[in-house]
Structure 1
């Protein structure tokens, strides 16, 4: 039986749930700022077709808004409820209209592009730290026609955001109330928009792979220009003879993986073990359900996805922590996408797993896998945003439940499919890391997502070099 040493990671104080053996205490988390926009409501004489009932508006959401931050690539679209014109101008909208409309996650590099040079450094910096939030309100159907927006523009607002206070760790309310839409289309001068805008620090640990996950790379923690190794990954392929043994990539025969794939249209037996600097295994991603082509096709379908189990050490053995399912989307706008679903597995006695992430990633362009529960526990704009927890306040282990996770949890970049792919970069919210196994579990999950892009590659296409039989024999 193994004795699993629970190293405390990245922080200087002791954790109640981990033995304090620091492996990276000199490395600080990277600064991020989270901007939240919501509670949108509109008072405006919007012309619409009459409803079946006289005096009844045909929809509670006849308008929509686009929300963006100048020079930032993210753009959000959200419905906007329409309130009666006689609604009290000093009163907030009803509770039914209170919801999160947009969330932006800004790194130091993002802020630099927005015009601030060094606002993370000190209060005396010459950088402005100013970003411009832009909201446009449209009446009509949400969508586009012939490449043109279907809605009719009612007006726009621009709100400057001074992010320096948020970067220093203080939650800031930039605006909460009514504002005129200003110049715009017909009747825009009579339109008023209610919105709430908040910002807060959202520090994260950032990890970068030193190579593709199937190349058994090192994983580095990054802070500014500093890179420090914290993990190593070991890729393996299970022997296909049925004996259940694990064999390294260098011991794999040509028929064990690639020949079975060619004959049976399946990919199975892959695993990635994450080790700490002492060589102890601290997380494992294991392909537990083969990626198999659906009958008559060369793709893994949503109805029969492949699956990975993410495990953490506990009580001398591996304990399930999460399950990742992946498939190849077909039809519609997602025909060239990797579909995924991730569920967190609580203690067996607590019942089945709970899905906390489901989306798609473009197979041709790549994208980002993300677990962001910012609005999952209710509207975060309805209360004062909490500051990141101190070490030890969040205890994690094999009995963890989904309630342990709030706000931004993690994200991982995923390169497009092909022979030469980029290296994953993983971001993890600082409040979700109290020890080595916490961070390692997210690193193992990121490896499983990255390898799923290959596992779901059309069976009519050859796998990239890192997973071909020639590389497995080296």
Structure 2
């Protein structure tokens, strides 16, 4: 399997020295660090924008670097080959790109005041802007580059504010997979590289009513699983539950020979909370993601999902994913927890780039703009030593709509087809959770609406 080229741009270590912002309107005597500031970070031609708080340092701060409290990852931008070509205006990987194409502009705006908006108008007062050109050609070719690491002036004059900023880019190749239909339609899964689409897996969706009905079937072997009963007591229940519920869904992933290589199985029914028609956070439904080991299914991960009540963006799908221990029952390692808009959909992602520390932390002196990464910057450990940096992401379509999930997996996390299949099964479980958490007063989408699947 050949990966697709991706580049990630990391921005962090933001700090501000501002003699103007240090003087609150009410008078003197307030320490500068008590005055709130924030920044917006954008990469032109990229849809995402990040808003983050920025620590304000005393004007007489003399150190060349900001304090440790300021060291953090502020924003990360993940760019596919299509994104890079759009920035370049042509293929970044062609010979013609050597003439200067591939330059993106990173734009950072610093505001004094608290984050947020009032009546649609940003509440902060603009202190200054910084625009840095980023030539991404070296990063696209596999070389990590530090574009800037140090102080930079905002505005003009001797009393101008200064901002500390670190920006780097590095290659981050990924395997890309696409479902050829909704998971409940038992689709094929293709690996995508550029314009090429090659089938690598098939999926089979089913609904069962008995927790123990995990049947191992392949063209080469057929045996019954011997999953310890402790997994059943920990992650599911065989007894019927009263009221509205959705249960028993599963998606089995096969390789092209027909052998099963991953399984997503709904082990805790999605049940409406008493007096409501929604799955609550206090009583979520759950899936096990299983992998074949010596002819039996072994739990690899656990996904919980629920319905978040409406906020500014409406209702959402809340989720939590944890990695399960390899041997004995024990606490899982949480890798992801967030919310996806129920109406618009979004992305499920496991990204540990900033987990457990600052991926832009300085371990020794580093060069300025255009310098190589070398030993100047280092990645920090994640909650699980086996999973660092970007792990995976998958698209999730809003409820009531049809869509085909697309899955991206970091190459460092795929050593064999079974590794990729586990992430494909997880993506299917997330997509089906959008339906499982749909309000019980609404109908499920086509393919899930038979009476046997409703209760």
Which range, TM-score by smaller chain?
0.7 to 0.9
> Aligned residue for 1:402?
384
Q: For the residues of structure 2 that align with 1:101 and 1:243, how far apart are their CA atoms?
A: 46
CA contact (8 A) 2:88 2:97 kept: no
Cα deviation, residue 213, structure 1: 0.3
- Partners of 2:68 and 2:216 lie apart in 1 by 58
Matched, 1:461 2:442: yes
**Unaligned stretches of 5+ residues in structure 2:** 218-239, 364-372, 376-382
Q: How many residues align?
A: 413
Q: Output the CA distance in 1 between the equivalents of 2:105 and 2:158.
A: 21
Match of 1:416 in 2: 398
- Between the aligned partners of 1:295 and 1:386, the Cα distance in structure 2 is 58
**Shift of residue 113, structure 1, vs aligned partner:** 2.0
Give the alignment's TM-score, normalised by structure 2. Answer: 0.85
* Selected match of 1:330 from 296, 303, 309: 309
CA distance in 1, matches of 2:148, 2:433: 42
Secondary structure, in 3 states, of the residue corresponding to 2:360? helix
Q: Equivalences for 1:167-178 in 2 at 5 Å? A: 167-178=140-151
Is contact 1:284–1:444 with CA below 8 Å preserved after alignment? yes
CA contact (8 A) 1:239 1:247 kept: no
Q: Aligned in 2, Cα 1:470/1:386: closer, same or farther, shift over 3 Å? A: farther
In 1, are the aligned partners of 2:216 and 2:296 still within 8 Å (CA)? no
Whether the aligned pair in 1 keeps the contact of 2:33 and 2:58 (CA below 8 Å) is no
Task: For 1:203 and 1:194, locate their aligned partners in 2 and report how far apart those are by CA, in whole Å.
Answer: 29
Show the counterpart of 1:286.
265
| Partner Cα distance (2:88, 2:142) in 1 | 20
Q: Is the 8 A contact 1:346 1:402 kept in 2?
A: no
Q: Distance in 1 between matches of 2:354 and 2:332?
A: 20
How far apart, CA to CA, are the structure 1 residues paired with 2:150 and 2:309?
44
Q: Which residue does the alignment assign to 1:56?
A: 31
Distance in 1 between residues matched to 2:141 and 2:131, nearest whole Å: 24
- Aligned counterpart, 1:221: 191
Closer, same or farther: CA 57–44 of 1 in aligned 2, 3 Å: closer
In structure 2, the partner of 1:427 is 408
Select which of 50, 70, 84 maps to 2:44. 70
Q: Secondary structure at the match of 2:11?
A: strand
Q: Which among 88, 95, 103 is matched to residue 130 of structure 1?
A: 103
Q: Tell me: CA distance 1:204–1:278, structure 2 relative to 1, closer, same or farther (3 Å).
A: same
Mapped pair 1:341 → 2:320:
yes
Distance 1:142 1:244, change over 3 A: same
| CA displacement, residues 112-167 of structure 1 (integer Å, 9 cap, x when unaligned) | 22234112234864561000000000001111111111111001010000000000
Residue 156, structure 1, aligned to residue 129, structure 2 = yes
* 1:206 has 2:176 as partner: yes
Are residue 313 (structure 1) and residue 296 (structure 2) matched? no
Quote the Cα distance in structure 2 between the aligned partners of 1:32 and 1:188: 41
Instruction: Quote the offset at 1:297 in angstroms.
Output: 0.6
Counterpart in the other structure of 1:43: 17
SS at match of 2:306: strand
User: Does the Cα contact within 8 Å between 2:151 and 2:165 map onto a contact in 1?
Assistant: yes
SS at match of 1:416: coil
Q: What is the RMSD of the two structures over their aligned residues, measured on CA atoms? A: 2.7
Cα pair distance change 1:206/1:468, threshold 3 Å:
same
User: Residues of 2 paired with 1:321 and 1:245: CA distance?
Assistant: 15
Between stretches 333-342 and 289-298, larger displacement belongs to 333-342
Q: Aligned pair in 2 of structure 1 residues 386, 439: CA closer, same or farther (>3 Å)?
A: farther
Greater Cα shift, 172-181 or 345-354 = 345-354
Contact preservation (8 Å) 2:272, 2:280: yes
Contact kept in structure 2, 1:116 and 1:127, CA below 8 Å: no
- Structure 1 residue 71, shift from structure 2 partner: 1.6
In structure 1, how many angstroms separate the alpha carbons of the residues matched to 2:202 and 2:109? 47
Residues in 1 aligned to 2:72 and 2:316: alpha-carbon distance in whole angstroms: 29
Offset, 1:349: 3.7
Distance in 1, Cα, partners of 2:158 & 2:37: 13
Q: TM-score, normalised by structure 1?
A: 0.82
Alpha-carbon shift at residue 466 of structure 1 (Å):
1.2
- Does residue 271 of structure 2 align to residue 271 of structure 1? no
- CA offsets 1:342-366 (integer angstroms, 9 cap, x no match): 1111224483101111111111111
**Equivalent residue, structure 2, for 1:145:** 118
